[in-house]
Amino acid sequence: MVGVGIEIEKLCVGYNKAKVLHEIDLEINPSEFVALLGASGCGKTTLLKSLSGFIKPMSGAIKVAGRDVAQLPPEQRNMAMVFQSYALWPHMTVRQNVGYGLKLRGVGKGQIKAKVDEMLALLGLSDFAERKVPNLSGGQRQRVALGRALAVDSPILLLDEPLSNLDARIRLLMRHEIRFLQQRMGLTAVHVTHDREEAMVMADRIVILNEGHVAQVGTPLEVYEQPKSNFVATFMGAENEIAVHVSRANGSVELIEQGAVKAASLPVSHEIGDGGVNWRATSAGQVLGRFHSSAAHLVADGAVPAGHLAFAGTVTQLSYPGGVFRYEIECSGQHYMIDDACRYAVGDAVTICVPAGGLHLYSDAA
Amino acid sequence: MVQAVLSHSLSRALLRTLAIGMLAFAIFGPITNMLLWAVAEVWYFPHKLLLEYGFVFWERVFRPEGNATEALFSSVWIAVLTVVVSLAIAIPAGYALARGKMPFRYLVMLLFLLPQAFPAVAVHMNVARTFYGLDLNGSVAGVVLVHASQGLVFAVWIATAAFAAVDGELEAAARNMGAGRWRTFVDVTLPLALPGIMASAIFVFLISMDEFTGTYFVGAPEVVTLPMLLFTSSMEGNYQIASISSLILLVPSVGFMLVIERFLKADVLANVGN
């Protein structure tokens, strides 16, 4: 079955009057893979539970193919869900687990067997059909849970942190497997995760939630390269923070020399990839800069290239996570993590250079 | 020094042997006495051992027209009915209590404990007085109700624990697949809680088989159960009949030990009373 679109309109959800989701507006296109990304407690799981019908929203609408399902019980929504705990029934065999949804739909025994066999073959579980769930490994359980959800041919697939209980290596494999199946079947998928990389790799679009509000919606490239707010930038891994003083001149940002920061002129970005600053501040003056440790590099001799934010510091720690060295640089009491391929020693004086294209500027910490 | 240690360990071994011996006697002594009496045909003071033994009294107990057979059947019949009544209450009550949406949860759970909280004789005397007015005295229904009131606390508590041990997400998964509330309960919740429910059923069965006071007040003289027969026969000095009845009563207890060991899992037991 081909996926259908979901429109979420002004959705408010709460437990005991405490609001968890505040007027969420979100449109999910047919056959699109959307990741709901956020820290724990941001409301991403609550949003998924509202979609699946386990929580009744206070107000607002959830439209599936144009029909509002917000007040329907879970069994009438026809959305297949993969649970974080897998929630496989231990008193049933793998075959019974996968076939249960079809049995409920009144499908004939022969047809159920054929469909379950097809599912199990697709997921590489053919040898395990008659096993009981407790006798399966974590990865196999995950596949059974996926098979159970896919067997009912529901147009919408809901994934509640399905990979969080798996070994790191199997997790990486399953990311691609789930994505492959979703694309092959053309399903609309909503995936909840707190793992940024997982969301980036799997999703067409990422919805970043913060305290019950949508912080940003965009493709992985958009939310990574052009985070709208300081929160999104931080969440997407731009952990390095520096206060800078700036003024605006036509089409560029002028960095004013202040403390360790050197004066420079940086172009402002108009579209992703043009190498300009992601300017999100409301006005010039004191602004907050953010950048990824991989976006910056170090120079030893102070020869700063043009169009870079540059400030001097001292190497206080180094490690080798693979590919590049990771340095901790101290600069006027603050610490920065910088990745660089060149080797420096602890105590070396270096200058951190952040290209305009790797810098995000915000007015406030929100 | 060596001697002191030796005598110390010796006295400890002696003490332990003595303790184990006394414990064994406490357990097996009465049973041995019972076993001897069950096969005794002639045995009187001051003889320490049986004078004549055989199975004459067994034949008498199990004779179709003998009142022991009748008592056994009425005991089993009452126990079965008690189980049915208890489960009919314990399953919905246990489910509601386990899912925790009920107001005054703990109060309700304590309510089932009430019949046990007062002296049994006082409770049963008043029950008998009330049942007399309702025309339930001397009826199987009356006895079943009395037995159920005693079994319910265990039935409800164990059923609550059994339902609480069922992961709510397993039910959510069934709902998500398209099963309504009832279908989910039948297909997922009940099968997973069944071992605990079975254990509570056996528990209630045993309580009913063993119950005396309530049966005496409410059922006598029309309803005669095995414990009542045991009581009257031992009062009449008919130790053979009493011993054989006791042996019959022992069978379900031993069976229960075996079954509970198989069915009741640690996660259910850990939930009892929560």
What is the model's pLDDT at position B65?
67
In which band, very low, low, confident or very high, does the pLDDT at B266 lie, cut at 50, 70 and 90? low
Domain end position, chosen among B31, B54, B77: B54
Chain A residue closest to B181 (CA)? A75
**Considering chain B, what percentage of its residues have pLDDT values greater than 70?**
90
Whether residue B70 contacts residue B224, with contact meaning beta carbons closer than 8 Å, is answered with: yes
Shared domain check, B157 and B40? no
* Strands A33-37, A188-193: pairing kind: parallel
Structural domain includes residue B259:
yes
Chain A partners of B198 at a C-beta cutoff of 8 Å?
A: none
How many CB pairs lie under 8 A apart between chains A and B? 57
Shared domain check, B198 and B80? yes
Contact of A15 with chain B, judged by CB distance below 8 Å, is answered with no
Shared domain check, B95 and B201? yes
Shared domain check, B233 and B102? yes
Per residue in A312-333, pLDDT (tens digit) is 999 999 999 989 999 999 998 8
Q: Which of A351, A346, A262, A263 is nearest to A299 (CA)?
A: A351
What's the predicted TM-score (pTM) here? 0.80
Shared domain check, B144 and B24? no
Residues linked to residue A268 through DSSP beta bridges, in sequence order: A277
Distance of CA A135 to the CA centre of its chain: 32
Chain A partners of B170 at a C-beta cutoff of 8 Å?
A: 87-90
Shared domain check, B115 and B248? yes
Shared domain check, B241 and B198? yes
CA distances from residue A79 to A189, A205, B101, B226 in whole angstroms, order as listed: 10, 19, 26, 58
Cα distance between residue B145 and residue B133, in whole Å: 15
Min Cα–Cα distance to chain A from B41, Å: 53
Reported ipTM: the value is 0.83
Per residue in B221-260, pLDDT (tens digit) is 888 888 888 888 878 877 777 888 888 877 777 776 777 6
Structural domain includes residue B79:
yes
Domain span at residue B226? 67-269
The answer to whether residue B116 scores a pLDDT higher than 60 is: yes
Shared domain check, B81 and B50? no
In which band, very low, low, confident or very high, does the pLDDT at B272 lie, cut at 50, 70 and 90? low
In which band, very low, low, confident or very high, does the pLDDT at B2 lie, cut at 50, 70 and 90? low
Average pLDDT of the segment spanning A154-178: 90
Shared domain check, B254 and B211? yes
Contact of B190 with chain A, judged by CB distance below 8 Å, is answered with no
Residues linked to residue B103 through DSSP beta bridges, in sequence order: none
Structural domain includes residue B121:
yes
- Specify the amino acid at residue A320: Y
- Residue B170 and residue A87: Cβ atoms within 8 Å? yes
Shared domain check, B49 and B130? no
Structural domain includes residue B59:
no
Shared domain check, B77 and B31? no
Structural domain includes residue B274:
no
Min Cα–Cα distance to chain A from B166, Å: 10
Min Cα–Cα distance to chain B from A333, Å: 49
Mutate to test the interface with B, among A104, A105, A107, A150 (most CBs of B within 10 A): A104
Contact of B176 with chain A, judged by CB distance below 8 Å, is answered with yes
What is the overall mean pLDDT for chain A?
Answer: 91
Structural domain includes residue B232:
yes
Shared domain check, B162 and B37? no
Contact of B179 with chain A, judged by CB distance below 8 Å, is answered with yes
Per residue in A197-232, pLDDT (tens digit) is 999 999 999 999 999 999 999 999 999 999 999 999
Write out the E strands in chain B. 40-42, 52-53
**Considering chain B, what percentage of its residues have pLDDT values greater than 90?**
17
Which residues make Cβ contacts (< 8 Å) with residue A240, sequence separation at least 6?
Answer: A290, A291, A292, A293, A296, A336, A337, A338
- Residue B187 and residue A100: Cβ atoms within 8 Å? yes
State how many domains chain B has: 2
- Output the domain CATH number for residue B79: 1.10.3720.10
Average pLDDT of the segment spanning B3-10: 75
Structural domain includes residue B167:
yes
